[in-house]
Chains A and B, each alone.
Chain A
Amino acid sequence: MSDVAHAHGHDDHGHHAHPTGFMRWLTTTNHKDIGSLYLIFALIMLFAAGAMALMIRAELFKPGLQLVHPDFFNQLTTMHGLIMIFGVIMPAFSGFANWQVPLMLGAPDMAFPRMNNWAFWILPVAGLLLMASFFLPGGAVAGGWTMYPPLFIQGGISYDLTILAVHIMGLSSIMGSINIITTILNMRAPGLTLMKMPLFVWTWLITAYLLIATMPVLAGAVTMLLTDRNFGTHFFNAAGGGDPVMFQHIFWFFAHPEVYILILPAFGIVSQIIPTFARKPLFGYASMVYATASIAILSFIVWAHHMFTVGMPVAAQLFFMFSTMLIAVPTGVKVFNWVATMWRGSMTFETPMLFAIAFVCLFTIGGFSGLVLAIAPVDIQLHDTYYVVAHFHYVLVSGALFSIFAGVYYWLPKWTGHMYSETLGKWHFWLSVIGMNIVFFPMHFLGLAGMPRRIPDYALQFTEFNQIATVGAFIFGFSQLLFLAIVLKTIKGGAKATSKVWEGAEGLEWTVPSPAPYHTFETAPVIK
């Protein structure tokens, strides 16, 4: 994208010249540069964490220990989970926010461009700390991405590095979120009221709020782990009056809202794409906004559905069951609104739309399995089995990740000025959808039949479904190389994109040329 950058190298204030080469990326305060950095980082991490997933799947291809030691297997699982969540999905969404929020609001940049740079550039630091631990004595963390003590107290040096990496990623998210919220609240073009904002901006506003509310809580929880490990405190040790389960409460108070952090921007992206390709305005804009807000608010009172088996009092069990089930209502409103948007539209099926449709359908499957898990007695059978793994990959892979693919195809022409290859895009789509279902659908059956998660080896009756899943994983994984190729090819060249790109597109981002110039909206547009 370097040609984009040099298009408008001029300097308003004239202190000093823009750095070039590598320094340009290290010191940039431009939201588009930073957005690209986030997206590139996420893409690299997708391949790193995906490679770990493929190793997991390869080991699970048949019973017996083939490729890895049990402890290394646990390291793979843990790092796969941590990196996919903190290193892929969250940075990718931040990348979208950086590129799109100012463009959609008619703002020249983010509110705090320097802090924006810092929020990005501490992520590679955290990534380094995490990945480096693979090479330290004892290997990487192997306690699960949920970091439960006392197991997490036992480990060696990489556990401390991971805790600090989590602190740093939290810091990054908080700074990024403060920036996004401030931009949204204070930098909208004149006349662009809150209820006229594109839905993507709304979902990010609410996501940023969730991040600011929960990331510090995670920081608190891992700080307690750190002091229990190194400074002799007894937060999670019953002998000293603490309780290991207390960690779980604090952790899930963060991590349940976190899963909505991983899906609300996805809802936003899909809500931009469907109206474009249905050539019809989004159905129920206001109820979409209210539903998003309700999901966010409810997400603070459902956390213990991850803990139905810890032995809570029956009243708590019932409360968390009911509150969790309630989330299906606003989420349902969203699903219905998307279907109603397509209803009687004039639809075409370019790659972004295909991914968006797959998202609606497959995310709902994940939502339904979530609902099954929300039923406490059923969860007691299914907790910590592959059913849970199936659930969250449906919402995370065919949910979050697919929305990212959809968004990239949708906005790539705006970012690079080139059209991607529609043929290759469709190949990528079909391979992904089919592959994804082959990996994760059989996992429901494995979970029902009683296969625990986080195990490197399993009993014989689980063999067939595991083999199917592994085959699917390799299909899905290697199709992502196609995605990489498409993106690189589009950056390099391709048919010129018009400024509107899509026939049905609406919004300020489509009023600027493609590729979007380095500086846009230096004087605010006026919205009637």
Chain B
Amino acid sequence: MKRMGQGAVLAAAWGASQSAFAEYAYNLQAPASPIAAQVFHLHNLIMLVCLGIFVVVFGAMFYSLIKHRKSVGHQAAHFHENTTIEVIWTVIPFVILMGMAYPAAKVVIAMKDTSNPDMTIKITGYQWKWGYDYLNEGVSFYSNLATPREQIQNAATKGEHYLLEVDEPMVVPVGKRVRLLITANDVLHAWWVPALGAKQDAIPGFIRDAWFEADRIGTYRGQCVELCGKDHGFMPIVVNVVSEADYAAWVEKKKGAAEVAAADDTKTFPLPDLVARGEKVYAASCAACHQANGMGLPGAFPAISGSKIATGPVGAHIDIVLHGKPGTAMAAFGTQLSDADIAAVVTYQRNAWDNKTGDAVQPAQIAAAHADGKGAAAAQ
């Protein structure tokens, strides 16, 4: 009898949650995937049950606070235990909890089932950007924050998608089961797009998977949600869900761009071109730590301007950029940037600010350093 009553309450709560979509400002974001929708309803259900209990328990307490006060002349009773009632209020919550556990378990199981994907994307977290590798299509790229520094420093008006915009969004077709293989390069990060209901920590050295299936075309935004250092708040995620045809077109375009970039690695550039290109790379990949003025942040990130490495022998400079410095925040950029980009950024660092070496480092030198520098990075 009691069980049935419970069931009815739960069912009513579930039903009520279906109509609660309206109040997004006070609830989870509007779901855009089946899992996100299930979580949305589950949350509403739990909230309503808690609210119910709250009203009953504190209704009783406030009634007592008003009626059983000394100032209205209430005399204290002397009872101080009652086994029956104590058993009842142990058992009822237990039953309510079982009523919550069942639907929750179903969602957990659906969420963890990553089998039979239509496509697989490997996502890598870096300090502080995301890397995407489309394993089926062979497309790879990095996704950086696109909000200009001036907006962050309050020197310009903030745009509509302030801090939630990137230079290269992730693009997926609508209605497809997308499996994500998530990992990290340096420290923990976490990939999360609320509307898609997918969140997974990115753990260096391990692949952990997650999945989503977007049921509406649109742009969905999220952020890194695991503290990953200074710019943790500045590594957003943008997913463009597009039609299948648009997706195919996007893949083609990406492949073309990759060929152009690969060709650069075999060219030779004059110094000004390298510096100009390097400045862009520096701004995107290095300035977060070493700062735009090359002065770093004392105690945490060394200055490049006037640095012994950036003004000394080229070999050591290339080496630290290619292989990083294990145990510090300085990552191995050899696996992230193209040879042409590394050549450019090294050249830039050797010629910007107080550094006036006049060196022009070419992509071929980087390729050569790749070839003989393998052991140095892997050791440790």
| Residues of chain A with a CB closer than 8 A to B8's CB | none
Interface hits, A146-174 → B, CB 8 Å: 148-151, 153-154, 156
- Are B154 and A346 within 8 A (Cβ)? no
- In angstroms, Cα B206 to Cα A239, docked, is 10
A286 sits at the interface (CB 8 A) = yes
**Minimum CB distance partner of B236 in chain A:** A459
| Residues of chain B with a CB closer than 8 A to A490's CB | none
A424 sits at the interface (CB 8 A) = no
B320 sits at the interface (CB 8 A) = no
- Least Cβ distance of A279 to chain B in Å? 4
- Are B86 and A385 within 8 A (Cβ)? no
Contact of B65 (CB < 8 Å), options: A237, A318, A342, A459: A342
B43 sits at the interface (CB 8 A) = yes
B171 sits at the interface (CB 8 A) = no
**Minimum CB distance partner of B205 in chain A:** A238
B152 sits at the interface (CB 8 A) = yes
Given A63-B158, A343-B60, A455-B233, decide whether A282 and B80 contact each other with a Cβ distance below 8 A. yes
- Are B199 and A381 within 8 A (Cβ)? yes
- Are A375 and B42 within 8 A (Cβ)? yes
- Contact bitstring B251-294, A, C-beta under 8 A = 1, else 0: 00000000000000000000000000000000000000000000
Highest count of chain A CB atoms <10 Å: which of B58, B162, B227: B227
| Residues of chain B with a CB closer than 8 A to A314's CB | 108-109, 112
- In angstroms, Cα B97 to Cα A332, docked, is 12
**Minimum CB distance partner of B197 in chain A:** A381
B223 sits at the interface (CB 8 A) = yes
| Residues of chain A with a CB closer than 8 A to B104's CB | 321, 375-378
- In angstroms, Cα B210 to Cα A381, docked, is 13
- Are A452 and B224 within 8 A (Cβ)? yes
- In angstroms, Cα B203 to Cα A309, docked, is 11
- Are B46 and A154 within 8 A (Cβ)? no
Given A372-B47, A377-B42, decide whether A458 and B163 contact each other with a Cβ distance below 8 A. yes
- Are A243 and B205 within 8 A (Cβ)? yes
- Are B39 and A377 within 8 A (Cβ)? yes
**Minimum CB distance partner of B288 in chain A:** A70
Interface hits, A118-160 → B, CB 8 Å: 136-139, 142-144, 148-151, 153-154, 156
Given A154-B328, A328-B97, decide whether A452 and B68 contact each other with a Cβ distance below 8 A. no
- In angstroms, Cα B298 to Cα A156, docked, is 11
Given A137-B299, A344-B68, decide whether A383 and B204 contact each other with a Cβ distance below 8 A. no
- In angstroms, Cα B64 to Cα A361, docked, is 14
B161 sits at the interface (CB 8 A) = yes
- In angstroms, Cα B42 to Cα A347, docked, is 40
- In angstroms, Cα B10 to Cα A183, docked, is 49
| Residues of chain A with a CB closer than 8 A to B90's CB | 329, 332-333
- Are B76 and A143 within 8 A (Cβ)? no
- Chain B interface: which of A10-18, A252-260, A443-451? A443-451
- In angstroms, Cα B229 to Cα A71, docked, is 7
- Are B80 and A339 within 8 A (Cβ)? no
- In angstroms, Cα B222 to Cα A452, docked, is 9
- Are A347 and B70 within 8 A (Cβ)? yes
A23 sits at the interface (CB 8 A) = no
**Minimum CB distance partner of B224 in chain A:** A452
Interface size on A, residues (CB 8 A): 98
- Are A452 and B233 within 8 A (Cβ)? yes
- In angstroms, Cα B186 to Cα A151, docked, is 8
- In angstroms, Cα B47 to Cα A371, docked, is 9
- In angstroms, Cα B90 to Cα A314, docked, is 29
| Residues of chain B with a CB closer than 8 A to A144's CB | 227
Given A348-B71, A450-B194, decide whether A326 and B200 contact each other with a Cβ distance below 8 A. no
In terms of DSSP, what is the predominant structure of the interface of chain B?
mixed
- Least Cβ distance of B99 to chain A in Å? 11
B135 sits at the interface (CB 8 A) = no
- Are A139 and B300 within 8 A (Cβ)? yes
- Least Cβ distance of A308 to chain B in Å? 9
- In angstroms, Cα B230 to Cα A442, docked, is 26
B209 sits at the interface (CB 8 A) = yes
- In angstroms, Cα B199 to Cα A154, docked, is 25
| Residues of chain B with a CB closer than 8 A to A519's CB | none
| Residues of chain B with a CB closer than 8 A to A335's CB | 57
- Least Cβ distance of A274 to chain B in Å? 11
B20 sits at the interface (CB 8 A) = no
- Least Cβ distance of A437 to chain B in Å? 14
- Contact bitstring A160-198, B, C-beta under 8 A = 1, else 0: 000000000000000000000000000000000000000
- Are A383 and B208 within 8 A (Cβ)? no
- Least Cβ distance of A455 to chain B in Å? 3
Contact of A325 (CB < 8 Å), options: B29, B39, B76, B97: B97
A5 sits at the interface (CB 8 A) = no
- Least Cβ distance of B128 to chain A in Å? 10
- Are B76 and A283 within 8 A (Cβ)? no
Highest count of chain B CB atoms <10 Å: which of A153, A243, A329: A329
**Minimum CB distance partner of B195 in chain A:** A450
- Least Cβ distance of B9 to chain A in Å? 16
Give the 6 A-B residue pairs with the shortest CB-CB distance, closest first. A238-B205, A311-B208, A455-B233, A137-B299, A138-B299, A346-B76
27 A-B pairs whose Cβ atoms sit less than 8 Å apart in the complex? A64-B154, A70-B231, A71-B229, A74-B227, A74-B232, A138-B300, A149-B187, A237-B205, A238-B205, A239-B205, A244-B188, A244-B204, A311-B209, A314-B112, A317-B112, A328-B97, A332-B89, A339-B57, A347-B68, A357-B61, A377-B35, A378-B43, A384-B226, A448-B29, A449-B28, A452-B225, A454-B232
**Interface residue ranges, B against A (CB under 8 Å):** 24-29, 35-36, 38-39, 42-43, 46-47, 50, 53-54, 57-58, 60-61, 64-65, 68-71, 74-82, 85-86, 89-90, 93-94, 97, 100-101, 104-105, 107-109, 111-112, 151-154, 158, 160-164, 182, 186-188, 190, 192, 194, 197, 199-201, 203-206, 208-210, 221-234, 297-300, 327-329
Given A63-B163, A450-B194, 11 more contacts at CB 8 Å? A70-B233, A151-B227, A229-B327, A243-B203, A311-B200, A311-B210, A340-B85, A341-B80, A375-B42, A377-B107, A380-B197
